[in-house]
């Protein structure tokens, strides 16, 4: 792939932009390697119907001290941004002319790691949050389904080095997930930059 290509995905009820090649291959490879070692990955439990279950992936929460975030009954207190996360945050902020104060990092170790259906609609994110999501490593399918119209669904493969931007009313009307894959797969890191609590 040569250079960045920005693809506006027409979802209606919100906006979705995919930028392939946001990082060129050599840089994306280096970022994947560095972040795998640099971030403080943890296996975390979440509460579902009052029961604690382990999340099927590793996670880490980074950000400014005020960016405390509660997700599925678990409170995340952020680690200070690592040097690599600060660089990526700067690149995204320049590209989108936006600013972020936190990043949720997910490490999908293999095809059996996943993220269930949800919307990023926690009150700390405000009403129409802009969320910038970087994908590094194995390409996985990001699924979307409309909350009120069952006929509207979408599969968006997220390539190595890509940026996906969710905005407008997307979180009100859509849910998203990253399902398991039966294929044998290498690891993937996803970083979602957000602005929390302001």
Ligand X SMILES: O=C(O)CCC(=O)C(=O)O
Q: How many residues bind ligand X (CB under 6 A)?
A: 11
Query: What's CA 18's distance to the chain center, in Å?
Result: 13
CA gap 159, 4 in Å, rounded: 12
Among 19, 32, 107, 178, binds ligand X (CB under 6 A): 178
Q: How many CA atoms lie within 13 A of 111 on its CB side?
A: 5
CB of 185 to ligand X, least distance (A): 13
Question: Toward ligand X, which CB reaches closer, 67 or 115?
Answer: 115
| Beta strands per DSSP E along the chain | 5-8, 15-20, 42-48, 51-63, 69-71, 74-76, 102-108, 115-118, 131-137, 140-146, 153-158, 162-167, 174-178, 188-194
**Binding flag, residue 81, ligand X (CB under 6 A):** no
CA gap 56, 41 in Å, rounded: 13
Among 19, 28, 31, 104, binds ligand X (CB under 6 A): 104
Among 106, 162, 171, 175, binds ligand X (CB under 6 A): 106
> 3-state SS string over 33-48?
HHHHHHCCCEEEEEEE
Question: Toward ligand X, which CB reaches closer, 76 or 82?
Answer: 76
Altogether, the residues listed in the chain come to a count of 198
Name the nearest CA neighbour of 13 among 160, 166, 181.
166
Among 115, 132, 136, 163, binds ligand X (CB under 6 A): 115
CB of 144 to ligand X, least distance (A): 10
Please, what is the Cα angle at 62 between 60 and 65, to 5 degrees?
135
CB of 124 to ligand X, least distance (A): 13
- Tell me which residues in 118-177 interact with ligand X (CB under 6 A): 120, 133, 142, 158, 176
CB of 183 to ligand X, least distance (A): 16
Which residue's entry shows tokens 């926690």?
Answer: 122
Question: Toward ligand X, which CB reaches closer, 21 or 108?
Answer: 108
CB of 87 to ligand X, least distance (A): 20
CB of 35 to ligand X, least distance (A): 14
Contact footprint for ligand X (CB under 6 A): 104, 106, 115, 120, 133, 142, 158, 176, 178, 190, 192
């Amino acid at each position: 792939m040569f250079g960045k290509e920005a693809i506006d995905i027409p979802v209606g009820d919100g906006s979705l932009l995919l930028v392939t090649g946001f990082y060129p291959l050599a840089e994306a490879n280096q970022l994947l390697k560095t972040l795998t070692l640099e971030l403080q990955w943890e296996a975390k439990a979440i509460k579902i119907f009052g029961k604690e279950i382990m999340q099927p992936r590793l996670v880490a929460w980074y950000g400014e001290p005020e960016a405390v975030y509660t997700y599925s009954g678990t409170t995340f207190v952020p680690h200070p941004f690592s040097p690599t996360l600060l660089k990526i945050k700067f690149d995204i902020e320049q590209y989108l002319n936006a600013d972020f104060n936190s990043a949720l990092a997910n490490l999908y170790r293999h095809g059996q790691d996943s993220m269930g259906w949800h919307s990023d609609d926690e009150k700390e994110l405000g009403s129409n949050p802009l969320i910038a999501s970087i994908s590094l490593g194995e390409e996985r399918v990001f699924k979307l389904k409309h909350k009120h119209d069952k006929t509207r669904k979408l599969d968006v493969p997220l390539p190595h080095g890509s940026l996906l931007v969710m905005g407008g009313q997307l979180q009100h009307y859509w849910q998203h997930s990253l399902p398991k894959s039966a294929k044998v797969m290498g690891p993937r890191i996803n970083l979602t930059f957000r602005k929390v609590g302001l």
